[in-house]
Structure 1
Amino acid sequence: MVSETGGQKGGGTMLTGSGQILLKLFESLEQKHAQLLVELNRAVESDTEALRLLKPLTIRTTAANQMFGVVWLIRHGIVGSEAVVKLKGGEYVCANLSRQEAHALELAVGAEVAVLINNTEITLATGPEKLRLSARNQLWGSVGRIELDQVEAEIIVNLKGNEETLSAVMTRASAERMRLKPGLQCRAIFKANAVLLATLAC
């Protein structure tokens, strides 16, 4: 770009030959990029499998844990419903919800759902397998990563199927008392009423 100082007709700027070439190149690339996006959108729209995989990416939530699966079993009572979701790694998660909620979500066997759990609702255990607990959900895995601050600890658990991870929060003192470290086998424990289910609205 070349600048001219002001005079009787005023100053100004003009593109050099090289600048004009770069501008044309940019405009051409911008046009090709727009065409590429159109072609990609058309390809995705015609690919049902790609749509199925991409849909979960549009879900936004404050829950620290977001996993995906299909409804494996659903039971309806007079007031409440119980849904069992099979995660993509093969684990099963049980969720309790009202019949009204189940109806609003249009839950049915085979329906794809997102499983949402706050990390404060998850308890970790490293005790024996025969330990009996009232919590319906007990998923086996191993400690993947530990993040510590002065008060709290966030534990990332790699689930047994190696397809999903869970985040659990506890006090730093509890994590140190349990001697948690990467690779340690553990169970992620949470109640069925701590699970939120989400479906994609059509």
Structure 2
Amino acid sequence: MTVGGTNFGGKGRIGLLAQIAESGSISKAARAIGMSYKAAWDAIDLMNNLAGQPLVERVVGGKGGGGTRLTRRGQQLIDNFNILENEHRRFVEQLCAQADGIADDYLLIRRMSMKTSARNQFQGKVSAFHRGAVNDEIELEIPGGHRIVATITHESSESLGLKVGSEAFALVKASSVILATGNDGMRLSARNHLAGNITRVQPGAVNTEVTLEIGTGVTVAAVVTNESAQELALAEGQRAEAIFKASSVIIGVPA
């Protein structure tokens, strides 16, 4: 779907949400749209991060032992996407100006259409900008009150038009994230420290992917070796800290 030559994208992810609403299961929803279970969870984590709040929640108990359902925000996103997709450009613009939530979801859907290899994507606003001798230091405030610090060149800052208050997003590869447990008193040079609880541990042939929830609906993914995961005894519910350098953060702005 395009509006004014701009591609909305996001159909696959919105379709995933719709299937979750219908089936009450992430695995069934993933199969219905031809997506792997892991890819489905990755998409959900990404959407939650971009929305700044959960779009999907787990249901404990019940006849089938529990399941998954959309939050009110998740259902609202689907409803608003359908409105945007089915209406003419002028009508869409009227809705964006008048209907509650439409304008926000228009922007959210555009963010979801972005494709990148970076596992972690955070939407926020520039809260501080420090110009240095060679590089600039950008501080981005993301949902939950967390702050991410990035170091980029002057040229990049200027080309992106960055300034305090401007909307931007931060990209961080999962392989750039270090996980630490019980590191009280440890002093590190890395600028970014995001503490939270482990919500998922997925061992692979060589590496283990760990998902850390740092706030309601906001997660950080890290890829560590299986040996490291075993030494740290990483498990769901465990408290941990995601650590990464400011130089490992890529800053972008909406097109």
TM range (shorter): 0.7 to 0.9
Structure with bigger strand share is 1
Q: Choose the corresponding residue for 1:187, options 214, 220, 241.
A: 241
Q: Which runs of 5+ in 2 are unaligned?
A: 1-82
Q: Which residue identity is paired with 2:140?
A: V
SS of equivalent residue, structure 1 residue 104: helix
The whole-number CA distance in structure 2 between the counterparts of 1:34 and 1:191 is 39
Q: Tell me the TM-score normalized by structure 2.
A: 0.61
Higher alpha-carbon Rg: 1
Q: In structure 1, what residue type is equivalent to 2:192?
A: N
Aligned residues: 168
Supply the distance in 1 between the matched residues of 2:113 and 2:205 (Cα, whole angstroms): 34
Deviations 1:126-174 (A, max 9, x none): 0233211110001001111011122110001111x22311110011111
Structure 1: how far apart are the matches of 2:85 and 2:149?
Answer: 45
In structure 2, what is the equivalent of residue 164 of structure 1? 218
More helix by share: 2
On the 8 A contact 2:84/2:92 being kept in 1, the answer is no
SS class of match (2:155): helix
- 8 Å Cα contact 2:127-2:139 kept in structure 1: yes
**2:179 matched to which residue of 1?**
124
Aligned-residue identity in percent:
30
Q: In the alignment, is the contact (CA less than 8 A) between 2:198 and 2:239 conserved in 1? A: yes
CA deviation after TM superposition for structure 1 residue 93, in Å: 0.5
Report the Cα distance in structure 2 between the residues aligned to 1:166 and 1:91, rounded to whole angstroms: 12
Write out per-residue CA displacement over residues 8-67 of structure 1, whole angstroms, 9 at most, x where no aligned residue: xxxxxxxxxxxxxxxxxxxxxxxxx99943276344543543444333223221111111
Structure 1 counterpart of 2:231, from 165, 168, 177: 177
CA-atom RMSD in angstroms: 2.1
| Kept in 2: contact 1:56–1:114 (CA 8 A) | no
Instruction: Choose the corresponding residue for 1:78, options 100, 113, 133.
Output: 133
Pairing 1:136–2:191 present = yes
Q: Which runs of 5+ in 1 are unaligned?
A: 1-32
| Match in the other structure for 1:113 | 168
Matching of residues 1-202 of structure 1 within 5 Å: 36-38=86-88, 41-46=92-97, 48-159=103-214, 161-201=215-255
Taking structure 1 as the reference length, the TM-score comes to 0.76
CA distance in 2, matches of 1:104, 1:37: 34
2:126, 2:164 within 8 Å by CA — same for their partners in 1?
Answer: yes
